[in-house]
Amino acid sequence: MSANTYSFRPYNVGRLVLWSLFAIVLLVAPKLFTSSLSMTMLTQMGIAVIVCLSYNMLLGQGGMLSFGHAVYSGLGAFAAIHTLNKVGAGEWGVPVALIPIVGGLAGLLVAVLLGAVSTKKSGNTFAMITLGVGELVWSMSLMLPEFFGGEGGVSSNRVVGTPALGITFGPQIQVYYLIAVYCFVCTVLMFAFTQTPLGRMLNAVRDNPERVEFIGYDTQRVRYFAFMIAGFFAGIAGGLYAVNFEIVTAEVVGAQRSGAYLLFTFLGGSLFFFGPIIGAVLLVLASVLLSELTKAWLLYLGLVFLLMVMYAPGGIASLLMMNVRVAAYGMLRRLWTSYLALAGTALTVLVAVAVIVEMIYHIKLNEALGPQMSFAGVMLDTRGTDAWVGAMLLLATGVGLFEVSRRQFVRHWGQVQGDIEAEIQRREGL
Amino acid sequence: MSKTPSNGLALELRDVRKSFGKTEIIRGSNLAVKAGERVALIGPNGAGKSTLFNLISGRMAPSSGEIVLHGEAIHGMKPYEINRRGLARSFQVSNLFPRLSVFENIRCAVLWSMGERYAFWRFLSNLNEVNRRAEEVLDMIRMRRKRDTNVTNLTYAEQRAVEVGVTIAGGSNVILLDEPTAGMSKSETANFVKMIRDVTEGKTLLTVEHDMGVVFGLADRIAVLVYGEVIAFDTPENVRNNDRVKEAYLGSVLAENQRAEAQAAEAAGA
Amino acid sequence: METFFVFFLNGISYGLLLFMLSSGLTLIFSMMGVLNFAHTSFYMMGAYFAHALAGALGFFPALFLAPLLVGVLGAAFERYSLRKVHVYGHVPELLVTFGLSYVVLEVVRLVWGPANVDYRVPESLSGPLFTLANIKGQGLSWLAGAGNAAICGPAAGNSCTQFPIYRGFMALVALFMLGSLWLLLTRTRIGLIIQAALTHPDTTQALGHNVPRVMMGVFGGGCALAGLAGVIGGNAFVTEPNMAASVGAIIFVVVVVGGMGSLAGAFLASLLIGLIQTFAVVIDISAASVMQSLGSPVSFDHWAYPLLKITVSQMAPILPYLLLVLILIFRPKGLLGTREE
């Protein structure tokens, strides 16, 4: 390019708007949802967003399926809580606001050590190794009560050290805003990562690891560095966890937690950057609200996950973006009746399945409470045949109608996609 | 990228052998490619051309023998080590990054050669040299119109062009192209060959080709690989008249028939 | 000495059980490229189904029926769920098996409760097969059954160790099953087709063989094998909803240590880990105790004391994972691994 050319890069207004919206939501949320339950959930969501985004760095951006990510967030949490105790005892002078960084550094250190071994392999073998390493750390937690606190875990007090600007982190709202700041900063940093050489090469490694080697990059190195960075952010989430709950037990490094990260990140959508944010919100909603609502929540979760993998492997984010694409071409209006039909029949099926599952659970687990069961305000007699027959009939009709509306939807969707393709061709020809 | 050694040879194969189990695929191949030369590697199907490429580029290690690049032994090295020493290869089946655009594909191939390593503290958009080089390569392979198209949405010929682009983007001095024009129509091939000639100006090129028109138009010398051995390595004219080559392609009976026919024609004409 | 021998046999029989599981996993993986995360869920189903069936029909009918049932369920899962996901790639395939493991766990917990069930070794197979007695002054002696009260009684002062019949039965079933599998794969026509489809499914299909059906059969067969392992293992060890997860991790370690895709490697690794886990539980030595016996005891205040005081028996649960880490550092290909990934 000669010196006479003028290069103009406009500001990406859309991106600025989205980030501002994100910041505003983080700021304003506790004002809108003021109950203490909401506060609990909002703080947990902030933490979950960071850890799910860090997980997607491996899964969605790197194609690395890890079954042991909780090791890094969990060990970060333990490091943070021990540091917090030291601060409380007056031995170390780390400000409470920087404790999550300690967690991050711990997560980074563990990722440097364990990542060297884990990233030696890729694909399925990598997945198995992360499972094994996760089990290793979990089992060690039982053998080293000095660090892991044994059965009761390690507890602490976050109102320690000298408060800066009068912030003691005693009230929950102060902790929320600490988490919100970390959440925003970490999200920005992790997004920025996707625009760096390492981030782009990580994508290349995901798409075609073999070719990467022929353009000069060591695939294993790329994965290892990404693993370290993901471990760092997971550790920060762990540190926030320690500050928030003031107690850390061994289950934070356990396989269930790792599985939850996987499940919800995938559910939210691993193909788009914001997918894990959706997943994190769902994670908290499910573990706090859904678990209270029904004893069968894990079963529902597993079934939803199965259906997602089979029919929408891009997660909720990809479903959203597909519709955004359709809307961008101005054709979303054509689909709303089909969507309505689909939603209505799906709801029917859902209700029918839920009734059956809840009745089974009631019979099995709540025998002492008698055969009467309340479902969304309606009393059902689990021993009588009425409820069962009714639910079966509802299920049968629901499934039948769903199939009909699904076929119609697929037809309409196909038409819309065809029209979009035609429009793309037309625009290219211009 | 690397200095040419005093003997002027960019790439040398010395008695390279490769066995898979008990089957020897490459049985002692010898080749000495001069710097800046364009060599076509031809041979019947199954002769081992792709295997040879795999050995040179580091995808596999030879069972024995030496491969020397710019005077340095590279046999046994990993593909990225060889690439960093100035050798790049393309693939017979386009081997691109399916979720990235044309531009992104090429930029990835540029990064290492421009000194970017595993940097996560710089933005791609600020790497002016990298971006400039990527745009340059984009123009060289004439894919500017499709700059931001996802590579899976390209036509076959366009994908082959990007494949070549990814190969040369790193500025390697020794380029290996594996059947770059396979599956293209006549007109597509002609344009493609012109593009290849332009982008490999001044570089050493080794290309596997089946299209004889391309071979005779592009190559300074032709190497003929049969059953894992280089049976001829000479100018196109000499190779065309080489008996062993004719026998390899046409079979000894047919070659004899040819000779007999030629004699009969001579006798009839006389 | 006699305890060593009996422990050795115990370790071998546990290792054979592990191999029953890891061989099915390896076959499914080699054939279909799918890592069946739910493989040990089928193991769990085998144990629970056998428990339910044995209550109604007795142990030996359950021994045949339960694996069949598990195999049918596995084949159905392949047909209706896994196959759909195949087009999306290997990660979604692994995820769908992961989802299945979740669902199976919940259903098992729902139907049979979260505590362990009383799935017992049948009467006919309980009791000792033989007893090894270390008789003072005479050395080792092999006694049938429970041995001799005169030799093994407390007054006699000899040490005796019993080897249970059931362990022998387990080993027998495992060997029989694996032997049949080997014969099936190498000596029958269907085995030939399976071997061909293992590396070249498209070519095999082009030759007219119904490869999808073969794959369904292989998947179902692998699950049935896991179910059989559950039938014979569930009553020797504990039958509870957590059994799938705990054995699952070990099986993955076996497969990686043995070398991905290598049956012989899985065999070796299974026996190795079986022996390690069996023996480790009884070794009460720790680094601290070793140092003590060498004359330089470690004090309680030493910074590494928490680590040094851990005995080998306490470390038993993590030894397989330590082996995994060591193999990855020193021999990443696995013991007998050959396949490049």
* pLDDT of the residue at C337: 75
* pLDDT of the residue at B1: 46
Q: Is B124 on the interface with A (CB under 8 A)?
A: yes
CB pairs under 8 A between A and C: 124
Arithmetic mean of pLDDT, A114-134: 90
**Poorest-pLDDT segment among A371-380, B170-179, C10-19:** A371-380
Arithmetic mean of pLDDT, C174-201: 83
The sheet with strand C159-164 has its strands ordered as C139-144, C128-135, C159-164
Which pTM does this prediction carry?
0.89
**Number of independent structural domains in chain A:** 2
Both A308 and A383 in a single domain?
Answer: no
How far away is chain C from the Cα of A401, in angstroms, using its nearest Cα?
A: 21
How far away is chain A from the Cα of C128, in angstroms, using its nearest Cα?
A: 33
Residue A310 is nearest to which of C29, C35, C96, comparing CB atoms?
Answer: C96
Residue B68 pairs with which residues in a beta bridge?
A: B12, B73
Helical spans, DSSP H, in chain B = 49-57, 79-84, 102-111, 128-140, 156-168, 186-199, 212-218, 236-240, 243-250, 252-269
Cβ contact (<8 Å) for C318 and A140?
A: yes
Both A350 and A294 in a single domain?
Answer: no
The CATH number that applies at residue A146 is 1.10.3470
* Percentage above 90 pLDDT, chain A: 51
With residue B23 as reference, give the H or E element that holds it.
Answer: strand B23-34
Arithmetic mean of pLDDT, C154-165: 75
Which stretches of chain A sit within 8 Å of chain C by CB? 63, 65, 117-118, 120-125, 127-129, 131-133, 135-136, 139-140, 142-144, 146-147, 255, 259, 262-263, 266, 296, 298-299, 301-303, 305-306, 309-310, 313, 360-361, 364-365
Cβ contact (<8 Å) for C260 and A125?
A: yes
Both A45 and A175 in a single domain?
Answer: yes
Cβ contact (<8 Å) for A215 and B83?
A: yes
CB < 8 Å to B127, chain A:
197
Contact C247, C238 (CB under 8 A): no
**Poorest-pLDDT segment among A106-120, B79-93, C118-132, C221-235:** C118-132
Residue among B178, B198, B205 at smallest CA distance from B39: B205
How far away is chain A from the Cα of B172, in angstroms, using its nearest Cα?
A: 10
Residue B120 is nearest to which of A198, A203, A213, comparing CB atoms?
Answer: A198
Chain A residue nearest residue B86, CA to CA: A216
Arithmetic mean of pLDDT, C280-285: 81
**How many CB atoms are closer than 10 A to CB C145?**
12
Q: Select from A263, A283, A314 the last residue of a domain.
A: A314
Which of C154 and C204 is assigned the larger pLDDT? Answer: C204
Cβ contact (<8 Å) for A139 and C317?
A: yes
Q: How many helices (H) and strands (E) does chain A have?
A: 17, 4
Which of B256 and C244 is assigned the larger pLDDT? Answer: C244
How far away is chain A from the Cα of B15, in angstroms, using its nearest Cα?
A: 24
Cβ contact (<8 Å) for A135 and C92?
A: no
* Chain A contact probe: residue of B60, B89, B104, B108 with most A CBs at under 10 A: B108
Residue C314 is nearest to which of A128, A143, A147, comparing CB atoms?
Answer: A143
- The tally of CA atoms less than 13 A away on the side-chain side of residue C95 is 35
Residue among B192, B209, B238, B227 at smallest CA distance from B38: B209
Cβ contact (<8 Å) for B170 and A216?
A: yes
Cβ contact (<8 Å) for A214 and B83?
A: yes
Both A308 and A334 in a single domain?
Answer: no
Cβ contact (<8 Å) for C328 and A121?
A: yes
Query: Using one digit for the tens of pLDDT, what is the confidence trace for A87-101?
Result: 888 888 888 899 999
Both A350 and A382 in a single domain?
Answer: yes
Determine the Cα–Cα distance for residues C26 and A124; give it in Å rounded to an integer.
Answer: 12
CB < 8 Å to B124, chain A:
195-197, 200
Q: Select from A268, A284, A314 the last residue of a domain.
A: A314
* Chain B contact probe: residue of A196, A214, A220 with most B CBs at under 10 A: A214
The pLDDT-based confidence of A191 (bands split at 50, 70, 90) is very high
Determine the Cα–Cα distance for residues B84 and B79; give it in Å rounded to an integer.
Answer: 9
Both A261 and A409 in a single domain?
Answer: no
**Poorest-pLDDT segment among A9-18, A163-172, A252-261, C148-157:** C148-157
CB < 8 Å to B91, chain A:
211
Query: Using one digit for the tens of pLDDT, what is the confidence trace for A140-174?
Result: 888 888 889 888 889 998 888 777 777 888 888 89
CB < 8 Å to C82, chain A:
none
* pLDDT of the residue at A115: 94
CB < 8 Å to B96, chain A:
208, 211
* pLDDT of the residue at C339: 52
Spatial CB neighbours of A411, under 8 Å, sequence gap ≥ 6: none
Which of C54 and C137 is assigned the larger pLDDT? Answer: C54
CB < 8 Å to A229, chain B:
120
* pLDDT of the residue at A242: 95
Average pLDDT of every residue of chain A: 89
* pLDDT of the residue at C98: 94
CB < 8 Å to A216, chain B:
80, 83-84, 111-113, 170
Which of B70 and C196 is assigned the larger pLDDT? Answer: B70
Arithmetic mean of pLDDT, B187-205: 89
Cβ contact (<8 Å) for B97 and A213?
A: no
* pLDDT of the residue at A360: 83
**Poorest-pLDDT segment among A238-242, A295-299, C150-154, C194-198:** C150-154
Chain C residue nearest residue A300, CA to CA: C103
DSSP letters, A93-127, are ---GGGHHHHHHHHHHHHHHHHHHHHTTS-HHHHH
Determine the Cα–Cα distance for residues B208 and B179; give it in Å rounded to an integer.
Answer: 5
Which of B248 and A44 is assigned the larger pLDDT? Answer: A44
Both A294 and A175 in a single domain?
Answer: yes
Instruction: Calculate helix-pair angle for C90-112, A255-268, nearest 10 degrees.
Output: 120
Average pLDDT of every residue of chain B: 88
Residue B257 has pLDDT above 90, yes or no: no
The answer to whether residue A18 is domain-embedded is yes
Determine the Cα–Cα distance for residues A298 and C53; give it in Å rounded to an integer.
Answer: 27
Residue spans per domain, chain B: 1-86+175-270, 95-170
* pLDDT of the residue at C341: 39
Contact B18, B40 (CB under 8 A): no
Arithmetic mean of pLDDT, A118-135: 89
Domain that holds residue A366: 329-425
How far away is chain C from the Cα of A164, in angstroms, using its nearest Cα?
A: 34
Query: Which subunits have 3 or more CB–CB pairs within 8 Å of chain A?
Result: B, C
The pLDDT-based confidence of A7 (bands split at 50, 70, 90) is low
Average pLDDT of every residue of chain C: 84
Residue C159 has pLDDT above 60, yes or no: yes
Dihedral sign, Cα of residue B254, residue B260, residue B265, residue B266: positive
* pLDDT of the residue at C208: 86
Query: Using one digit for the tens of pLDDT, what is the confidence trace for A321-374?
Result: 988 888 888 888 888 888 888 888 888 888 888 888 888 888 877 777 777 777
Q: Select from A258, A282, A314 the last residue of a domain.
A: A314
Residue C47 has pLDDT above 80, yes or no: yes
C3: amino acid identity, one letter: T
Arithmetic mean of pLDDT, B76-80: 93
Residue C112 has pLDDT above 90, yes or no: no
Contact C171, C6 (CB under 8 A): no
How far away is chain C from the Cα of A117, in angstroms, using its nearest Cα?
A: 6
Both A152 and A267 in a single domain?
Answer: yes
Residue B238 has pLDDT above 50, yes or no: yes
Spatial CB neighbours of C242, under 8 Å, sequence gap ≥ 6: none
* pLDDT of the residue at C340: 47
CB < 8 Å to B80, chain A:
212-218
Cβ contact (<8 Å) for A208 and B121?
A: no
The pLDDT-based confidence of C74 (bands split at 50, 70, 90) is very high
DSSP code of residue C311: B
Residue A122 has pLDDT above 70, yes or no: yes
Contact B124, B101 (CB under 8 A): no
Residue C306 has pLDDT above 90, yes or no: no
The answer to whether residue A310 is domain-embedded is yes
Both A237 and A333 in a single domain?
Answer: no
Both A299 and A346 in a single domain?
Answer: no
The answer to whether residue A235 is domain-embedded is yes
* Chain A contact probe: residue of B120, B133, B152 with most A CBs at under 10 A: B120
Arithmetic mean of pLDDT, C15-28: 89
Extended strands (E) in A154-278: 154-155, 247-248
CB < 8 Å to A15, chain B:
none
Determine the Cα–Cα distance for residues C222 and C250; give it in Å rounded to an integer.
Answer: 17
The pLDDT-based confidence of B251 (bands split at 50, 70, 90) is low
Q: Is B99 on the interface with A (CB under 8 A)?
A: yes
The pLDDT-based confidence of A230 (bands split at 50, 70, 90) is very high
Percent of residues in chain A assigned helix, strand, coil, to nearest 5: 75, 5, 20
Residue C95 is nearest to which of A118, A121, A309, comparing CB atoms?
Answer: A309
The sheet with strand B204-208 has its strands ordered as B87-89, B174-178, B204-208, B38-42, B221-226, B229-234
The pLDDT-based confidence of B252 (bands split at 50, 70, 90) is low
**Poorest-pLDDT segment among A194-198, A281-285, A354-358, B37-41:** A354-358
Residue A309 is nearest to which of C35, C96, C105, comparing CB atoms?
Answer: C96
Contact A142, A271 (CB under 8 A): no
Both A19 and A49 in a single domain?
Answer: yes
Write out the CATH class of domain B1-86+175-270. alpha beta
Residue among A207, A277, A391, A244 at smallest CA distance from A19: A277
Residue B3 has pLDDT above 80, yes or no: no
